[in-house]
Amino acid sequence: MVRPKGTGRSKIEIKEIQNKGAMYCTFTKRRNGLCSKARELHTLCGAQVAAIVFSPKNKMYTFGEPSVDSVVNRFLHEQQQQQQQRQPLNRGGKKKKKKKTIPFLSDECIEGFELHELKYCMALMEKFVKKLEERLADVVYRRVQVKDLISLIK
């Protein structure tokens, strides 16, 4: 059987896709490809991988091996350690107090955002703050319980 000659895989020019339907289709395929490559990287090399992608419709997709939370927590912890190591010592031998900033929450990060993007980020931050407050309350509650147990033992 003779196969007809086709174009096969051809290189495309990397530019914004104007057709919305084609753009959504391409986004889905490439997002799946990104997750597939991340999974392969984890499987082949044992790397910890996280990918966070926002669609053209501002829907968030995440992928992580072993999990997005564990990779992001490790990243934030290591960023904090690097910042602490870079702080110069003052005359008293103590580190100078520097305003703590998280790199991805700087003013430059949101400077080019449109109104709908800012509102979306605000909603995400409100959810995050609520979870943070719940987690903090849980940790405080556990510490109180431990102190009560220790006082009962003594």
Mean pLDDT for the stretch of residues 42-55: 91
Give 98-119 as a 3 state SS string: CCCCCHHHCHHHHCCCCHHHHH
pLDDT in tens, 80-109: 888 777 766 555 555 555 555 555 555 656
Q: What is the pTM of this model?
A: 0.49
Q: What is the DSSP letter of 61?
A: E
